[in-house]
């Protein structure tokens, strides 16, 4: 691949002073992760799981509890989020916690509950693998392996996850630059797995009012420079349930391909991340409030392919 800053992109003609020049500068900046960047012959990656395509035309909401707690908690949530429009069920069986005294997850029992929820609802499952030793077991039950923020630079885990052949939902490390994030994605590709979904989940900054700072510009930038699907996790990004819906709308407007949102039948009683978890009614409201944004997103995507629309924007 040409890393000399003169890449010729059909989608961004305009020479060094136009969009093409701007785009090729990003290629210089992210020269360590060339294969995750858009380029000639590198089409948008679409990750297919069961009947869902992530990175395609459809916006993909993923929702569920922070942690799998009980069969009834998980089933009630799975049925509810499916009816409300979620396409993928999330839920942690292995929980990386900042405090060693917090609930660490049900492990294998939680994975079995997730598999049962898939049987009952048809929803695909995304769940976290925390160590390379757990990857074979998690991969047996999950449709997508989540690599958590705290594990983004755990290279033996990334390698084992990549080699499992399952799609990888890669969360941005909480102190990772966009460059670090793309390098981790490149590492997964280098180990033979092209099915990587990038997830912006907020980063640590000097701001302390919120759990993290939602880096919406990262979503917009990643959508411009990478062919990998990009999703947003507004729950961990802000840590407050009343901010989850507005951040979700912002994520759609920034071009995200989907969302990862925490939902629980009784959020105040959730065993982990209660403050940021939505109840069922709040999730329904959030989904309804996203509708016009998703419609605009689809209209914009189709307009981009209309020759007349292209002429209209020059
Ligand atoms: C999670 O999604 O359950 C989680 C622990 O998120 P993060 O790795 O982004 O903190
Ligand atoms: Mn959580």
pLDDT above 50: residue 10: no
Q: How many CA atoms lie within 13 A of 223 on its CB side?
A: 20
pLDDT above 60: residue 40: yes
CB 265 within 8 A of CB 232: no
pLDDT above 90: residue 96: no
Looking from the CA of residue 149, the nearest atom of ligand 1 is: 8
Q: Is the CB of 121 under 6 A from ligand 1?
A: no
Beta strands 47-49; 52-54: pairing state: antiparallel
* Residues contacting 27, CB < 8 A, separation 6+: 3, 5, 7, 34, 37, 39, 225
* Both structure tokens of 57: 């035309």
Looking from the CA of residue 273, the nearest atom of ligand 1 is: 3
pLDDT for res 22: 60
Q: 148: CA distance to ligand 1 center in Å?
A: 5
CB 57 within 8 A of CB 66: no
Mean pLDDT of 141-167: 98
pLDDT for res 101: 87
| Interior angle at CA 163, CA 157 and CA 169, nearest 5 | 65
Confidence of residue 21 (pLDDT cuts 50, 70, 90): low
pLDDT for res 274: 98
Going through the chain in order, the beta strands assigned E by DSSP cover 47-49, 52-54, 60-64, 88-90, 124-128, 144-147, 168-171, 196-200, 230-232, 258-262
pLDDT for res 295: 95
pLDDT above 80: residue 14: no
pLDDT above 50: residue 301: yes
* pLDDT tens digits for range 44-82: 999 999 999 999 999 999 999 999 999 999 999 999 999
Q: Is the CB of 149 under 6 A from ligand 1?
A: yes
Confidence of residue 304 (pLDDT cuts 50, 70, 90): low
* pLDDT tens digits for range 206-222: 999 999 999 999 999 99
* Both structure tokens of 168: 């990888």
pLDDT for res 3: 35
Nearest Cα residue to atom 9 of ligand 1: 149
| Interior angle at CA 72, CA 108 and CA 96, nearest 5 | 40
Q: Is the CB of 21 under 6 A from ligand 1?
A: no
pTM across the whole model: 0.91
CB 60 within 8 A of CB 54: yes
* pLDDT tens digits for range 234-269: 999 999 999 999 999 999 999 999 999 999 999 999
Considering every ligand atom shown, identify the ligand nearest to the alpha carbon of residue 278 and give its number: 2
Range with the lowest mean pLDDT among 13-17, 143-147, 183-187? 13-17
> What's the burial of 31, exposed, middle or buried (CB within 10 Å: 0-12/13-18/19+)?
middle
| Interior angle at CA 235, CA 66 and CA 138, nearest 5 | 35
* Spatial distance between the Cα atoms of 20 and 26, rounded to a whole number of angstroms: 10
Nearest Cα residue to atom 10 of ligand 1: 149
pLDDT for res 109: 97
Q: 148: CA distance to ligand 2 center in Å?
A: 10
CB 292 within 8 A of CB 89: no
The mean pLDDT of the chain is 91
Q: Is the CB of 286 under 6 A from ligand 1?
A: no
Q: Is the CB of 259 under 6 A from ligand 1?
A: no
């Amino acid at each position: 691949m040409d890393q000399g800053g003169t890449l010729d992109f059909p989608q961004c003609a305009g020479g060094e002073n136009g969009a093409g020049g701007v785009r090729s500068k990003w290629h210089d900046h992210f020269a360590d992760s060339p294969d995750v960047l858009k380029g000639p012959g590198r089409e948008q990656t679409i990750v297919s799981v069961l009947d869902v395509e992530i990175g395609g035309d459809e916006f993909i909401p993923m929702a569920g509890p922070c942690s799998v707690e009980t069969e009834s908690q998980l089933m009630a949530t799975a049925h509810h989020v499916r009816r409300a429009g979620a396409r993928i069920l999330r839920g942690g069986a292995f929980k990386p916690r900042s405090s060693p005294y917090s609930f660490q997850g049900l492990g294998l029992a939680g994975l079995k509950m997730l598999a049962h929820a898939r049987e009952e609802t048809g929803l695909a499952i995304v769940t976290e693998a925390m160590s390379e030793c757990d990857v074979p077991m998690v991969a047996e039950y999950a449709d997508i392996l989540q690599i958590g923020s705290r594990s983004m630079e755990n290279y033996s885990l990334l390698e084992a996850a990549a080699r499992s052949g399952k799609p990888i939902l890669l969360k941005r490390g909480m102190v990772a630059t966009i460059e670090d994030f793309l390098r981790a994605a490149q590492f997964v590709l280098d180990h033979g797995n092209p099915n990587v979904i990038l997830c912006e989940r907020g980063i640590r900054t000097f701001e302390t009012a919120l759990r993290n700072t939602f880096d919406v510009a990262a979503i917009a930038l990643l959508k411009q420079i990478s062919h990998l699907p990009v999703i947003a996790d507004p729950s961990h990004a802000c840590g407050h349930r009343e901010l989850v819906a507005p951040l979700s709308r912002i994520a759609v407007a920034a071009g995200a391909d989907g969302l990862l949102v925490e939902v629980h039948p009784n959020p105040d009683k959730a065993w982990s991340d209660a403050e940021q978890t939505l109840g069922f009614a709040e999730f329904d409201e959030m989904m309804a409030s996203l509708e016009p944004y998703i419609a605009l997103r689809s209209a914009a995507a189709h307009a981009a392919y209309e020759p007349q629309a292209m002429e209209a924007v020059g």
